[in-house]
Amino acid sequence: MRPESTEHTNSPFRPGYSRPPLIFGGHQDEIEEFTEVFQHYDFGENQSVLISGLRGAGKTSMLSRLQDIAETHGWLTIRDDASKGLMDRVVGSTIPTIVNSLSDSEQTRLKSLSILNVGIELEIADRSRTVAPSLRSDLVAISQATDNRGILILIDEVHSSKVRLRELSRFALEISHAMSTGANIMVAFAGVKVDLDQLMEQPHMTFLRRSREVDFRRLSIGETRRVLRETTQVGGRTLAPDAETHLVKISQGYPYLVQLAGDYAWRNNPTSDTISLVDAKVAQGKAKKAIESRVIKKVYDDLSEMDQEFLRAMAPDDGRTKISSIVSRMEKSDQYVQVYKQRLLDSGYVESTSHGYVEFSLPYLRDYVRSTMEPHPAESSGLSEWRAFPPPAP
């Protein structure tokens, strides 16, 4: 049973992966441009879009936003992750669902197009096709049967492992062929930049080099304020100005952290009309701890050993780090260090604020890297205690 309280309102903040925010901050220009595509089929350079950014930067939420806007304008949407079996899932299940959602007359037209051998009267999901299903011909057929209705294809979690890339580029190639017939298709891929770059490097993926690239970093201070304030309002409370400023400082504009900090502040005293500075201060420690275990640790684990070593060489400095210090701390050549610097810059983990220097761009990453460099408590105390109790000989 739901609680009867009239005063308690559930938190309107949405901390977590793949949980789109109630108030979406930033990216207005891109959203306007994409809306033009959905509304007027005015593609410009937006026929294919690559959305990059670190974990928690808002890529999946952006895909949800695009899906909502596209569907509002009558587009058909296909959305999936770039995981194993993508092609089979889309051709075997998503497309049949789309076909089922079409009007009777569209389905009849589709049936008359022999390309898609669907037995409309049969349960489409387990139809048997006389020709091998192909994404390309399915898309073209749907497009023809629907007077060239827009089709938005959203693929999340692009990853550059070999098997995945091979399957994904096969998938992308089918889409590009369908596009070349004039079908109104827009495709968006989301992932970490190095992985998207690798996808582009695959054979036959030249069409992706003409993609619109959007790199998600932090929200501006103004947008961070707006998200915190308006989300609180949507939940039916107000955010005290000093609490707002404090939450802006804690979150550093990093979307996942904006939601986490807002959520902890909300929960500190949920029946009060206002989120106060005290609530925001309580949120500080909790949000930092949570972001470390849910995001920063994963981000750091995603990195190669060498990338991690580069970050460890940056960690002793409180602010920016001189490249020459990294060269001497890593005991590697200048050239070698430059290669890793560029990779980390491209990926968004570090930024180059002035010539010859780098700085952490993800809030709290430095603290986390430092914590990994401290001796592990088990090694300093726990283990030595057990030395007096060795396992008995068999």
Ligand X SMILES: Nc1ncnc2c1ncn2[C@@H]1O[C@H](COP(=O)(O)OP(=O)(O)O)[C@@H](O)[C@H]1O
Query: Where on the chain is the footprint of ligand X (CB under 6 A)?
Result: 14-21, 24-26, 53, 55-61, 227, 255-256, 258-259
User: Which among ligand X, Mg ion, none contacts residue 20 (Cβ within 5 to 8 A by kind)?
Assistant: ligand X
User: Which among ligand X, Mg ion, none contacts residue 133 (Cβ within 5 to 8 A by kind)?
Assistant: none
Q: Can you name the residues that pair with 76 across neighbouring β-strands?
A: 151
| 56/96 with CB nearer Mg ion | 56
CA 319 to each of CA 138, 182, 309, 315, 357: distance values in angstroms, whole numbers, following the listed order:
54, 52, 18, 9, 10
Considering the complex, what minimum distance in angstroms separates the CB of residue 160 from ligand X?
16
Residue whose beta carbon is closest to ligand X: 58
Q: Confirm if 156 and 60 have CB atoms less than 8 A apart.
A: yes
Residues in the chain: 394
Q: How far apart are CA 314 and CA 308, in angstroms?
A: 10
| 110/295 with CB nearer Mg ion | 295
User: Which among Mg ion, ligand X, none contacts residue 164 (Cβ within 5 to 8 A by kind)?
Assistant: none
Q: How far apart are CA 382 and CA 190, in angstroms?
A: 44
Phi, psi of 4 (to 5 degrees): -90, -10
Considering the complex, what minimum distance in angstroms separates the CB of residue 213 from Mg ion?
17
Amino acid identity of residue 391, one-letter, is P
User: Which among ligand X, Mg ion, none contacts residue 25 (Cβ within 5 to 8 A by kind)?
Assistant: ligand X
| 60/232 with CB nearer Mg ion | 60
Which chain residues interact with Mg ion by CB under 5 A? 59-60
| 139/192 with CB nearer ligand X | 192
Q: Which of 114, 187, 182, 111 is nearest to 148 (CA)?
A: 182
Considering the complex, what minimum distance in angstroms separates the CB of residue 322 from Mg ion?
34
Q: How far apart are CA 114 and CA 131, in angstroms?
A: 10
Considering the complex, what minimum distance in angstroms separates the CB of residue 218 from ligand X?
10
| 191/235 with CB nearer Mg ion | 191
With tokens 């939940």, the residue in question is 235
Considering the complex, what minimum distance in angstroms separates the CB of residue 214 from Mg ion?
14
- Structure tokens, 201: 């490097």
- Tally Cβ neighbours within 10 Å of residue 136: 18
